Structure 1
Amino acid sequence: MKQVPEQRPPRRALIIQTAWLGDTVFTSALATSLLRCWPSLELDLCVSPRGRDVARAIPGVGFVHLFDKAGTDRGLRGLRRVAARLRTRQYDLAVLPHRSLRTALLAFLAKIPRRVGFAGGAGALLYTERVRTAEKIFLRREADLARALGAEPAQMLLQPRPEWMAAAREALGPAAGEKLAALCIGSEWETKIWPAERVAALARLLARRGLRPVLLGSARDKAMAARIGGAGACIDTTGNPVGEALAVLSMSALCVGGDTGLVHAARALGVPTVTLFGPTSAEAHLFGPRQRAVSLQLSCSPCSAHGTHRCPLGHHRCMRDLDEERVASACQAVMSA
């Protein structure tokens, strides 16, 4: 990785990160780096609809554009429509941490004069500057992008908005004043999900230690939440907006869940966090003193960079056999650190 030639500080810049929710969380570190490097910078983000509230939770970020690449903005017509909206903002700089041809095309069609991304990506030929990195860890990779732009790497950072905090307190009711344990139960990939019976058993263990379990997830996690039931007097907030979930996380004394966006958001919010790894690798992440990665480290794990819908071997032991006592021990460690 080498720094690109020094240029005049941009007046208005755009980070395009239209990958998964967790990727938007990781990009909060890059956004923070750029804002600290250029204090007068107007920084906007372009994200997927699911990442909107995470982008709005990054301190200092201005406008958040949505690119619904799998829905209303699908195809070349949708790409051109979003690019036309981006052009109205007259950006000086586009930063592209997502190695995607579609993302590169979006910045190119938006006629952003300076487009900086990673060398070797599918759309690299459309960049004006290409940054080489050998890093495999998400945050270190984006730190190389920040350094190439002349910025010092920063930590992930999110801050829930006041209206989300108010909505979270209303959803939790009297429990808002209790010591909460946020249990993130879902995932876009089924193989990252810890079984409902394991979550229920952990909820009971945490309740006996004085914590009130709160279930977080998307609307499609409602069925799993029902299977967990009232174990440990759980409060079910699955299906609530992402911003409200971020607020609940910020109010929690602990967060537990798989390698998913909400769990990484808890880390960015400074919440003691235990992340459960099965199909994916903990080595793609950096963990602080109040964060733990828990894995059975089976010979067949990890089997995927992002997770899969089904276990390739059909047994899903990496998550199924991960016992609640091991996870509870990690919870105690992060809360005591």
Structure 2
Amino acid sequence: MRYAGELADYRRILVRATNWIGDAIMSLPALRAIRERYPEAHIAVLARPWVADLYAGETAASEVIPYEGRGIGAAWRVAEKLRARRFDAAILLQNAFDAALIAWLARIPSRIGYRRDGRGLLLTTAVRVPKPGELPRHERFYYLEMLRRAGLVDSLPTDAPIRLAKGDAARRRGEELYSSLGIQLPVLAVSPGAAFGTAKRWLPERFAEAAAALAGQAGATVVVFGSAAERELCGRVAADAAARGAAARNLAGRTTLTDYIALAAAAKLYLTNDSGAMHIASALGVPTVTVFGATDHTTTGPTGSLARIVREPVECSPCLLRECPIDHRCMTRVTAGRVVREGRELMGMDTRRKILDAAAARTLVEAGPTRLVSGYFDPLTAAHADRLAEIARAEPGRKLVVLVQPWEDALLDAVSRAELVAALRTVEAVVAGEEAQRLAGMVPEAAILHEERADEERRRQLVAHIRSRHEA
């Protein structure tokens, strides 16, 4: 991503988070772009309590400020607290009038956001809302475009998958939580609910049928998640799966957001509707199968190679309605078999356990003979696979640990590159981004085989080849 040249030197930035889990996930790239543009700034995220825990592991956020209560009284109280904090700028990812009002009441000098919901006069930088067709379809670009139009960045990033930070640590904690609950791993997670009406919900009996079939193949326990209001629905899915021979538990309404994130991270596979659960599971890199019907998978769908969409392309979909006025054909025509086929394929592609943080990788290195290979792997090509296989053959008995390094010219983010490298059979483990840099500082330099210059040349040759083919 490129950044605009002359900008205000903000030191204390308030970011107003969106109010719903899915929107919060889709706006994470924008939050990280703000952090990359202002690496030394104190960035506070103002968030509603039900999404606040989502930012707990995010290195882009210096702190999270909960915004509780409703109405003008609550807005006034939080504005008073913010006024004392003396923020230089407020960047409003949320669209509501309330977000701009609070920033104005807090006397924050620079107030940046989309000009909508009647709040334009409260903003110092009122950004024009994009017209249909002006942006890539996925909703994450809506938030990023606001930063671009405000002059905070010059260009949008590549179409990289959205990932939550510290997913590996969340997975390990989730495994501990499952153990404490007496739930046997592996886990096949299911979220049969969805907010804002029933139109987005696939049939609960088909969730149970698909979950039981996949759990039987994987030797997994079916665990059903949902809100407290969805406990009866989730109980029906768990009971139906159990009747079909699967071990099943219903945890609907029994987890905090922090615990849910950990439990979701430890799942082997996730089956869901278009929901906040879908966004969290996908952002954790969990293999996720989502049934779409009333909503548009191209605008709010999950991202990355471990996400699959199952939908029936009927003439009325996506209708974006909360309740189906006819026969719910977009969902009733999706069979359990289709979901099972996608789930089975995804379970075979799951390489998350090969992606380690620096501490875990160091333990692996100290446990026995290893060879560390450092490079960019952007994009991963057959030449990379051949080179890693050559290194492995030259040192039989050594486990290959690959360090995927940050690179400002990369087409893909480090985590996306790590996921692709982890799929190679010759690779034992992968460490990505800042964790790769951290591991490099923990081991002797002589233990690392550096491929960065060779990777730069591979990339140069690839670009030259593409250009020659284009010009031919």
- The bucket for the TM-score relative to the shorter chain is 0.7 to 0.9
Q: What is the distance in 2 between the residues matched to 1:320 and 1:85?
A: 50
Q: Which residue of 2 aligns with 1:107?
A: 103
Q: CA deviation at 1:97?
A: 2.1
Q: Which residue of 2 aligns with 1:238?
A: 252
Q: CA deviation at 1:251?
A: 0.9
Q: Counterpart of 1:207 in structure 2: which amino acid?
A: A
Q: 1:85 to 1:228 in 2, by over 3 A?
A: same
Matched, 1:179 2:186: yes
Q: C-alpha deviations, 1:278-330, integer Å up to 9, x for none?
A: 111011046322212221122111111xx51x22x143232233221111222
Q: Which residue of 2 aligns with 1:329?
A: 341
Q: Which residue of 1 aligns with 2:298?
A: 283
Q: Which residue of 1 aligns with 2:355?
A: none
Q: Which residue of 1 aligns with 2:238?
A: 229
Q: Which residue of 1 aligns with 2:163?
A: 157
Gaps of 5+ in 1: none
Q: What is the distance in 2 between the residues matched to 1:7 and 1:281?
A: 36
- SS of 1:191 mapped into structure 2: coil
Instruction: Tell me if the contact between 1:160 and 1:246 (Cα under 8 Å) persists in the aligned partners.
Output: no
Q: What is the distance in 2 between the residues matched to 1:228 and 1:144?
A: 40
Instruction: Tell me if the contact between 2:44 and 2:64 (Cα under 8 Å) persists in the aligned partners.
Output: yes
Q: Which segment drifts farther, 260-269 or 55-64?
A: 55-64
Instruction: Tell me if the contact between 1:18 and 1:103 (Cα under 8 Å) persists in the aligned partners.
Output: no
Q: What is the distance in 2 between the residues matched to 1:294 and 1:125?
A: 44
Q: 1:275 to 1:105 in 2, by over 3 A?
A: same
Instruction: Tell me if the contact between 2:82 and 2:106 (Cα under 8 Å) persists in the aligned partners.
Output: yes
Gaps of 5+ in 2: 350-472
Q: Which residue of 2 aligns with 1:197?
A: 205
Q: Counterpart of 1:107 in structure 2: which amino acid?
A: A
Match runs of 1:15-34 below 5 Å: 15-34=15-34
TM-score calculated relative to the size of structure 1: 0.87
Instruction: Tell me if the contact between 2:224 and 2:238 (Cα under 8 Å) persists in the aligned partners.
Output: no
Matched, 1:260 2:269: no
Q: Which residue of 2 aligns with 1:220?
A: 229
Matched, 1:43 2:49: no
Question: Over alpha carbons, which structure has the higher Rg?
Answer: 2
Match runs of 1:288-299 below 5 Å: 288-299=304-315
Q: What is the distance in 2 between the residues matched to 1:198 and 1:110?
A: 50
Aligned length: 328
Q: 1:296 to 1:216 in 2, by over 3 A?
A: same
- SS of 2:8 mapped into structure 1: coil
Q: CA deviation at 1:83?
A: 1.4
Q: Which residue of 2 aligns with 1:138?
A: 139
- SS of 1:61 mapped into structure 2: coil
Q: What is the distance in 1 between the residues matched to 2:300 and 2:308?
A: 11
Q: C-alpha deviations, 1:18-65, integer Å up to 9, x for none?
A: 321111111222112222222212212122222121122323323222
Q: CA deviation at 1:336?
A: 3.8
TM-score calculated relative to the size of structure 2: 0.63
Q: What is the distance in 2 between the residues matched to 1:271 and 1:203?
A: 16
Q: 1:172 to 1:198 in 2, by over 3 A?
A: farther
Instruction: Tell me if the contact between 1:215 and 1:236 (Cα under 8 Å) persists in the aligned partners.
Output: yes
Q: What is the distance in 2 between the residues matched to 1:155 and 1:30?
A: 13
Q: Which residue of 1 aligns with 2:401?
A: none
Task: Report sequence identity in percent.
Answer: 28
Instruction: Tell me if the contact between 2:170 and 2:261 (Cα under 8 Å) persists in the aligned partners.
Output: no
Q: What is the distance in 1 between the residues matched to 2:73 and 2:5?
A: 35
Q: 1:124 to 1:328 in 2, by over 3 A?
A: farther
Root-mean-square deviation (Å): 2.7
Q: 1:188 to 1:298 in 2, by over 3 A?
A: same
